[in-house]
Amino acid sequence: MTIAPPKTALPPLSPDLIARFAAIVGDKYAVTDASELAQYLTEERNLFHGRSPLVLRPASTAEVSAICKLATEHRIALVPQGGNTGLVGGQTPHNGEVVISMRRMDKIREIDTASNTMTVEAGAVLQTVQRRASEVDRLFPLSLAAEGSCTIGGNLSTNAGGTGALTFGVARDLALGLEVVLADGRILSGLSKLKKDNTGYDLRNLFVGAEGTLGIITAAVLKLFPRPRAVETAFVGLTSPADALKLLAVSQAEAAGSLTSFELLAEICVDICVKHGSDIRDPLQNRHPWYVLMEISSSRDDARAMLEAILGRGMADGIVEDAAIAASLQQRAAFWKLRETIPPAQKREGGSIKHDISVPVAAVPAFLAEADAAVAKLVPGARPVPFGHLGDGNIHYNISQPVSRMTAQEFLDRWHEVNAVVFAIVLRMGGSISAEHGIGVLKRDDLPDVKDRTAIELMRGIKALLDPLGIMNPGKVL
């Protein structure tokens, strides 16, 4: 299935303008060949297929600024792109826009262990940032499945969440300062390391989560944390999401800030990973309706004792049916590999309608029960595959097609119907239709129906102020 966003007629890019843009970055870094362009025009889920006459690969903030100045002069639409791992079409040039690939801007400009900060360029790969932090005995806690290819600029532009948000927050919480190029080429120099700075409006937060519609993030000051001395991981079998919620409460009471991950998985998640994943096996001897993957990280050598106390209390209270504590780094990696294998395993189960939603943590069990019932009524035989970050109420409520009642395309043709019933439950519970993936094109048309009217008006006003010509990632978010 592909989703076709509304088309906007853009004027063709003349050979002269292509040459002028290429002169900014150098001919080697101006991509016009169709075979080379292809990697920038599609995304992992194959929902969106874009088109572009030109991809520019700048190496500096000055080059990004020059590109924006020229684009403003000639009203040329631009689409910034990082690792191209986004899931809502925000990084795709749908209507022939010029793509600005930030991958060459990947320098670590500074690591300051006294301030516990790292200043990095937007094209730095998340996994590289994690590794460089570890080399100086620090932790950069943002962690997600695409960390080997996603970039910091993309993480900030979509306000990525991931498995560490329970304790450390989302991408917005992990950036102290930003450097941003505006549509007209002006550079906002806000690479501050300060935790306290009450000098007016917080402009940084305008650009985090804006998906490149207000400006292009070129660098960021990131927060670092002490690297934990001990990390203990457990895979837990339970009867219900309600029991998982009780275990979360026990874990937070016993471990407080040392509880760094708490992931909820339905039984079908484990089943399809074992079925389709390479070297994946169920960590527990018997099957359970629900599972939790939890992790304790501590600066002292008490992580194991905390985890054992939590699981012991859970078993005594009848919450935990079974549990396995990772006995080695290899086993810990195997637990997490299972969790990260869910999306590719589900892809092999046929058509999949996906939701990245959040509700108040206490409402997760009720949401799952109501959504399952609503989906079963709407599409008999459809198979919910829910998993996600229970500790912050973010559930990836994915639904696989019925096994034999319809084709993948017939199921995917009901995408908007299924969205409607799921979103209705989310909104009634005070939740959000986009927890960590952004709006992009996929959810753009739903946004006015779920967002406060005044908020939408303010967003449009800010967009008009910062991007009056509408050249910055047009057609995304708003």
pLDDT of the residue at 45 = 79
The most confident of the ranges 1-15, 32-46, 239-253 is: 239-253
Q: Which of 348, 380, 395 is the last residue of a domain?
A: 348
Let me know: does 464 contact 409? Beta carbons within 8 Å: no
> Is residue 5 predicted with pLDDT exceeding 80?
no
CATH code, domain with 113 = 3.30.465.10
- Indicate if 113 and 210 belong to the same structural domain: yes
Let me know: does 263 contact 163? Beta carbons within 8 Å: yes
- Indicate if 128 and 213 belong to the same structural domain: yes
How many Cα atoms sit within 13 Å of 158 on the Cβ side? 31
- Indicate if 335 and 362 belong to the same structural domain: no
CA separation for the pair 24, 12 (Å, rounded) = 20
- 3-state DSSP helix/strand/coil % of the chain, to nearest 5: 40, 20, 40
> Is residue 89 predicted with pLDDT exceeding 80?
yes
CATH code, domain with 84 = 3.30.43.10
Q: Which of 226, 259, 284 is the last residue of a domain?
A: 226
- Indicate if 198 and 299 belong to the same structural domain: no
pLDDT of the residue at 4 = 58
Evaluate if pTM is beyond 0.85.
Answer: yes
- Indicate if 80 and 115 belong to the same structural domain: no
> Is residue 326 predicted with pLDDT exceeding 90?
yes
- Indicate if 294 and 326 belong to the same structural domain: yes
Q: What is the mean pLDDT of residues 70-87?
A: 96
Q: Is residue 156 part of a domain?
A: yes
- Indicate if 429 and 364 belong to the same structural domain: yes
- Residue 6's pLDDT band, with cuts at 50, 70 and 90, is low
pLDDT of the residue at 286 = 95
Q: Is residue 275 part of a domain?
A: yes
Q: Is residue 477 part of a domain?
A: no
CATH code, domain with 416 = 3.30.70.2740
Q: Is residue 1 part of a domain?
A: no
> Is residue 299 predicted with pLDDT exceeding 90?
no
Q: Is residue 475 part of a domain?
A: no
- Indicate if 179 and 273 belong to the same structural domain: no
> Is residue 432 predicted with pLDDT exceeding 80?
yes
Q: Is residue 474 part of a domain?
A: no
Distance of CA 146 to the CA centre of its chain: 8
- Residue 431's pLDDT band, with cuts at 50, 70 and 90, is very high
Domain count, the chain: 4
> Is residue 323 predicted with pLDDT exceeding 70?
yes
- Indicate if 248 and 318 belong to the same structural domain: yes
Which residue range is the domain that position 148 belongs to? 108-226
Q: Is residue 470 part of a domain?
A: no
pLDDT of the residue at 402 = 96
pLDDT of the residue at 301 = 84
pLDDT of the residue at 359 = 98
> Is residue 35 predicted with pLDDT exceeding 80?
yes
- Residue 170's pLDDT band, with cuts at 50, 70 and 90, is very high
> Is residue 3 predicted with pLDDT exceeding 80?
no
Smallest Cα–Cα separation from 370: which of 290, 428, 436? Answer: 428
- Indicate if 206 and 234 belong to the same structural domain: no
* pLDDT tens-place string over residues 14-34: 999 999 999 999 999 999 999
Let me know: does 394 contact 435? Beta carbons within 8 Å: yes
Let me know: does 361 contact 392? Beta carbons within 8 Å: yes
> Is residue 9 predicted with pLDDT exceeding 80?
no
Q: Which of 226, 254, 283 is the last residue of a domain?
A: 226
* pLDDT tens-place string over residues 238-271: 999 999 999 999 999 999 889 999 999 999 999 9
CA separation for the pair 98, 216 (Å, rounded) = 14
- Strand-by-strand arrangement of the 117-121 sheet: 108-112, 117-121, 216-223, 175-181, 187-190
- Indicate if 243 and 320 belong to the same structural domain: yes
* pLDDT tens-place string over residues 344-384: 999 999 999 999 999 999 999 999 999 999 999 999 999 99
Smallest Cα–Cα separation from 391: which of 264, 237, 258, 243? Answer: 264
Q: Is residue 219 part of a domain?
A: yes
> Is residue 2 predicted with pLDDT exceeding 80?
no
The rounded percent of the chain whose pLDDT value lies above 70 is 98
Mean pLDDT (the chain) is: 95
User: What residues are paired with 325 via a beta bridge?
Assistant: 234
CATH code, domain with 300 = 3.30.70.2190
pLDDT of the residue at 10 = 74
* pLDDT tens-place string over residues 95-124: 999 999 999 999 999 999 999 999 999 999
- Indicate if 305 and 415 belong to the same structural domain: no
pLDDT of the residue at 269 = 97
CA separation for the pair 337, 194 (Å, rounded) = 37
> Is residue 1 predicted with pLDDT exceeding 70?
no
pLDDT of the residue at 256 = 84
CA separation for the pair 464, 303 (Å, rounded) = 51
